[in-house]
Chains A and B, each alone.
Chain A
Amino acid sequence: MIYIENIEDMSAEQDQLLNEVTSNDYKYGFYTDVDIDSLPKGLNEDIIGMLSAKKQEPEWMLEFRLKAFRHWQTMKMPAWAHLKIPEINYQDIIYYAAPKRKVQYESLDEVDPELIETFKKLGIPLEEQKHLAGVAVDAVMDSVSVKTTFRETLAEHGIIFCSFSEAVKEHPDLVKKYMGSVVPYTDNYFAALNSAVFSDGSFCYIPKGVRCPMELSTYFRINASNTGQFERTLLIADDDSYVSYLEGCTAPMRDENQLHAAIVEIVAMDNAEVKYSTVQNWYPGNKEGKGGIYNFVTKRGICKGDNSKISWTQVETGSAITWKYPSCILKGDNSIGEFYSVAVTNNHQQADTGSKMIHLGKNSRSTIISKGISAGKSQNSYRGLVKVLKNADGVRNFTQCDSLLLGDQCGAHTFPYLEVDNDTAIIEHEATTSKIGEDQIFYCNQRGIDTENAIGLIINGYAKEVLNKLPMEFAVEAQKLLQISLEGSVG
């Protein structure tokens, strides 16, 4: 019965949505006026030195940054994706901006009211009542963590959940051991850039045998003009532990393009399970394709231990350009990797997204469910690699890759790659392309549901397999986003 109740909650949400859907503007396009303490534009070793100094980092951290930077200088931007990327002037970007008041806050009252106002508009659950919802939030506003909640509760379980900068100071051994162990700075152009200039992010460690009692959640927000945001997240789940991590993003409306190159690294030890969920709604640019976030993200997890599991779920509706392939290295025997994705593109958005499943462990299994929805003049590509190494016996993979088209000016593409060096592997791939039918919409109309809502209903039905993987409160938000993102795209 829980199933039905959930659906009803969702449909109640859908009703409420009706009222909100009337405006066509990017919903979260506002800007908070907070004093910014930032470095000058440009990227060189001096800037990196200043950045590191501002963050009062230890020597080894600066060394890591400089090595990454020197490597980055030898690299070229990748050109293989099905994307048209305007030239980016890396010297025209501010690499560090922090809200000026760097005091540690004891309570919400001490936080800049403007900031609180922003959080309220975004509906970020920082307030006490949200405690009841079981969400602990490490909110990242621009580059410095402003407020970390529920840390004490987590500390009781020995869980570390803090900003990356804090972790560098307080847990240097863990950071040194794992940072770059899943995504080395040599991995790709944007990973190298991030490693050189990352400003902050989240760090999480779940000790052996601990089941994290609440969903951990980080809300990112890009807020300063002309500031590229370079987040870095490191999540370690020790033996027999479990954690569900939520990442949600909104950004204020901006005319100029903003670069975002994040890294997420996950390590899962023996029998550990990590669920990582993302709802991404950064400013996609306006209807003519002006502005919008460039989102070049490297997300990768390693199932290091036997019987470990990493599950990525993402709902991607935002950004002008998305380049993102949350991946799993399945090193442990019997380990499991999962990727569930809904990617929506509308107007002039471009997305090239998918996953990589690298099977090294025996009997490791992976599932990829990708649902692309393209509307307007957008281009939506799925790119996925399933790789099975020689000694990995008994591997299974199932890939399902669906595309839904709205209108006839958009594009949907699939680029599946398969590299199998062990003939005991069982690999399945299914792909479909469909259009929302006029007859489906009329059927809904005839039951009193207008076209806008009919599309919302049909889209949410199409994406249900993925939405069901999200934690409840996220699923509702994701449903809203899907519908809002496709407003006015049919008719």
Chain B
Amino acid sequence: MLEIKDLRAAIDGKEILKGITLSVKPGEVHAVMGPNGSGKSTLASVLAGRETFEVTGGSVSYLGEDLLELPAEDRARKGIFLGFQYPVEIPGVSMVNFMKTAINEQRKFKGMDPISASDFLKLMREKKEIVEITSSLTNRSVNEGFSGGEKKKNEIFQMAMLEPKLAILDETDSGLDIDALRIVANGVNKLRNKDNATIVITHYQRLLDHIVPDHVHVLYKGRIVKSSGKELALELEEKGYDWLKEEN
């Protein structure tokens, strides 16, 4: 589904990603871990198409297509979803309006008619249950005045609404209390199936107690320094990142 080869990216001339190679197949969950500043969020942004980062080398193929050629909105319409670490507020734009616009953009891209009002409301109700969010949240403006936990739940809610093929969750666990963490993780697990894939970016192992990954990669100084099964996460939890830093 996703083939990243020797991907390099820079911001303001400073290279952050120094050759990432990663392969993700449908149905898989990959965890990308690493200490602060290792390039985890940069990887997420580059895959989602944020233009502040300049791709300086390598390639990314997504469903057989050159991903780096596509503008961010087309990547989204083709099923790539980024759960933001810091979701932005858009004052005055209701979640209802925002989601409906997003869904209809996706549908239009696929040559479908806009979703009917009743179908849309039904979909909203259904998906809100997955992340256990209340109606009032979706009537408010996008992320405006949301608590940290509400923002993260709202990201998973949007993911549920958009049904992506590849979801990249950037530090979705940061700032969550244990209940919110459980809800977010349950949401992700419920949305998992054999056709979609998830990349979970996290600093801590605790999210991986709830979302069990098939593969764990450790990112350090812009490179993947270790890849293994889920047991790697536990090892990191126990030993910290220092032993890897020493090895590299």
Contacts and interface: CB of A to CB of B under 8 A. Distances in A.
B76 A461 contact: no
Interface string A457-474: 110111111000000000
**Residue from the set B75, B81, B97 with the largest chain A CB neighbour count within 10 Å:** B97
Contacts of A12: 114
Contacts of B76: 445-448
Chain B interface mostly helix, strand, loop or mixed? helix
A448 B97 contact: no
B141 interface: yes
Contact of A442 (B50, B77, B92, B114): B50
A445 B49 contact: yes
Contact of B106 (A14, A445, A448, A457): A448
A449 B90 CA distance: 14
A8 B106 contact: no
Contact of A457 (B96, B98, B120): B98
Contacts of B51: 442
Contacts of B93: 457-458, 460-461, 464
A8 B100 contact: yes
B140 to A, nearest CB: 12
Interface string A90-131: 000000000000000000000000000000000000000000
Contacts of B84: 443, 446
A326 B92 CA distance: 25
Instruction: Bin the interface of chain B by size.
Output: 35 or more
Contacts of B75: 446
A60 to B, nearest CB: 50
B117 A8 contact: yes
A442 B72 contact: yes
Contacts of A7: 94, 96-97, 100
Nearest to B52: A438
Chain A interface mostly helix, strand, loop or mixed? helix
B73 A449 contact: yes
Contacts of B100: 7-8, 11
A462 B90 CA distance: 9
Contacts of B193: none
Interface in B84-107: 84, 87-88, 90-94, 96-98, 100-102, 104-106
A449 B52 CA distance: 18
B72 to A, nearest CB: 4
Interface residues of A, number: 34
A439 to B, nearest CB: 5
B26 interface: no
A447 B158 contact: yes
Given A15-B114, A445-B71, A462 B91 contact: yes
Given A10-B97, A15-B114, A446 B72 contact: yes
Contact of B141 (A443, A444, A447, A461): A461
B4 interface: no
Contacts of B81: 446
Given A8-B120, A12-B114, A461-B141, A443 B90 contact: yes
A440 interface: yes
Contacts of A465: 92
**Residue from the set B48, B81, B96, B101 with the largest chain A CB neighbour count within 10 Å:** B101
A128 B48 CA distance: 51
Given A442-B51, A451-B73, 19 more contacts: A7-B94, A8-B96, A14-B101, A15-B108, A18-B108, A442-B50, A444-B98, A445-B71, A446-B76, A446-B81, A447-B105, A448-B77, A448-B106, A448-B162, A449-B102, A450-B71, A453-B105, A458-B90, A461-B91
Interface of A: 3-5, 7-8, 10-12, 14-15, 18, 437-440, 442-451, 453, 457-458, 460-465
A-B interface, 9 closest residue pairs, ranked by CB to CB distance from nearest: A461-B92, A461-B93, A445-B72, A447-B102, A448-B76, A464-B92, A448-B105, A448-B77, A450-B73
